[in-house]
């Protein structure tokens, strides 16, 4: 990784970095699990952080052999529940002072992108009323291979017109950190060391993020 390369852009995961829809995901999966008599709890839900919808279902199912058509129906139904919960989200759900930090970065000339596994990223950003702050939104519809593959972040960098080495990724999931490293980008981890410890720099939560420090250290 060429850490001496000047930082020109930032790529933000959505859930857990800009806003927190984790509880909506949990409630949606729990509703499906209750209906289909599947084992699901908070511990299992934690394993779904940063993972695509179908892969999340595979984690919940463990070794159960379920026909592909039924799995598709289940993930679609979960998404319907999630979509209903999303109607409740608003600008008040932006984490801490992230909107102000995004505005400052944009004013300073940095290019900004969202790199989220969620297929609902654009809808969430619209609800939060901050779509205009981003030059590109890379989501679950943008690439075939989800995190921890690097494809989503590479797609975002290409959309920004930047090289991978010029980008910094902000992630709260282990799979996202792995994806950023695989893309040969610098990565900021948000959360416990046990989950994001492989990142170049780690902050406990969004409120502690210091972009001046990031730019100086990386």
The CATH number of the domain where 169 resides is what?
Answer: 3.40.50.1000
Is the per-residue pLDDT at 124 higher than 80? yes
Backbone angles phi, psi at 153, to 5 degrees: -70, -35
Question: Which structural domain, as residue segments, surrounds residue 28?
Answer: 22-86
Q: Residue ranges of the alpha helices (H) in 87-210?
A: 98-107, 121-128, 151-160, 174-182, 193-196
Neighbours of 24 (CB within 10 A): 21
Is 15 a catalytic site residue?
yes
Catalytic residue among 13, 139, 151, 200: 13
- 8 Å CB contact between 199 and 178: no
pLDDT digits 0-9 by tens, 15-43 = 999 998 888 999 999 999 999 999 999 99
**Same-domain pairing of 194 and 115:** yes
pLDDT, residue 13, reads 97
pLDDT, residue 1, reads 43
Instruction: Measure the CA–CA gap between 91 and 99, rounded to whole angstroms.
Output: 9
Model confidence band, residue 51 (pLDDT cutoffs 50, 70, 90) = confident
pLDDT, residue 74, reads 98
**Residues within the annotated binding site for Mg(2+)?**
13, 15, 171-172
Q: What is the pTM of this model?
A: 0.86
**Residues within the annotated binding site?**
13-15, 29, 48-53, 56, 78, 116-120, 147, 171-172
**Same-domain pairing of 69 and 56:** yes
Is the per-residue pLDDT at 179 higher than 80? yes
Is 13 a catalytic site residue?
yes
């Amino acid at each position: 990784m060429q850490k001496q390369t000047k930082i020109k852009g930032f790529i933000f995961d959505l859930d857990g970095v800009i806003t927190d829809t984790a509880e909506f995901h949990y409630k949606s999966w729990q509703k499906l699990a209750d209906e289909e008599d599947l084992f699901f709890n908070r511990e299992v839900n934690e394993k779904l952080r940063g993972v695509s919808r179908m892969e999340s279902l595979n984690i919940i199912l463990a070794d159960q052999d379920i026909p592909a058509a039924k799995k598709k129906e289940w993930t679609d139904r979960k998404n319907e529940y999630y979509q209903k919960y999303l109607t409740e989200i608003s600008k008040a759900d932006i984490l801490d002072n992230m909107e102000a930090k995004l505005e400052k970065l944009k004013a300073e000339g940095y290019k900004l992108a969202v790199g989220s596994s969620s297929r609902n990223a654009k809808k969430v950003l619209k609800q939060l009323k901050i779509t205009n702050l981003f030059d590109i939104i890379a989501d679950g519809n943008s690439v075939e291979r989800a995190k921890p593959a690097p494809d989503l972040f590479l797609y975002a960098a290409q959309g920004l017109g930047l090289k991978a080495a010029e980008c910094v990724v902000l992630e709260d999931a282990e799979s996202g950190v792995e994806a950023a490293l695989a893309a040969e980008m610098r990565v900021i981890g948000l959360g416990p060391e046990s989950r994001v410890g492989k990142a170049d720099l780690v902050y406990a939560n969004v409120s502690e993020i210091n972009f001046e420090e990031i730019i100086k250290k990386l």
